[in-house]
Amino acid sequence: MVELELTVNGKACMLKIEPGERLIDVLRQRLGLTGTKEGCGEGECGACTVIMDGRTINSCVVLAIQAHGRDITTIEGVGNRIRPHPVQRAFVEEGAVQCGYCTPGMVLAAKALLDKNPDPSPQEIGAAMSGNLCRCTGYDKILRAVQRAAREVTGT
């Protein structure tokens, strides 16, 4: 067992973990943050996307120990039903949510983009979202949702 210290959604966490445990498993099973989904387990679909130190990562291919001392944001740390984040609100308003399985990863990818670039071009949005797959809604609604959130963030 090794000690893991990290900040998750603004809260300091200290855990004893097995050296080979993946970040997704620590988030879901040990911390109860089940909004992070496992899709492919190979870092290809983006369902497990979280933000680590401001950058999106696929938590299914990252060892938890690699997050030692890092700041992690999961979907539970983004907004809530009473005060949704602009990206969450835009996804609902644009109908960019269908089954919802990919939505947490999509929202986190969009949030990370808008945190760095609040006025992205359609090409920049496409590039930022390219690591996240959706089998239900198609991508037009998702791209429109990110554009809508960008307008809300910038006030334009």
pLDDT per residue over 68-95, tens digit each?
999 999 999 999 999 999 999 999 999 9
Domains of the chain from N-terminus onward = 2-77 (3.10.20.30), 86-154 (1.10.150.120)
139 has a pLDDT exceeding 80:
yes
pLDDT band with cut points at 50, 70 and 90 for residue 53: very high
Q: What local confidence, expressed as pLDDT, does residue 24 receive?
A: 98
Whether the Cβ atoms of residue 49 and residue 58 lie closer than 8 Å to each other: yes
Q: What angle do CA 38, 79, 89 make, to 5 degrees?
A: 95
Strands, DSSP E only, in the chain? Answer: 2-8, 11-17, 49-52, 55-58, 71-73
60 has a pLDDT exceeding 90:
yes
Q: What local confidence, expressed as pLDDT, does residue 16 receive?
A: 97
CB burial string 11-49: b at 16+ within 10 A, e below:
eebeeebeeebbbbbbbbeebebebbbebeeebebbbbb
This prediction has a pTM of 0.95
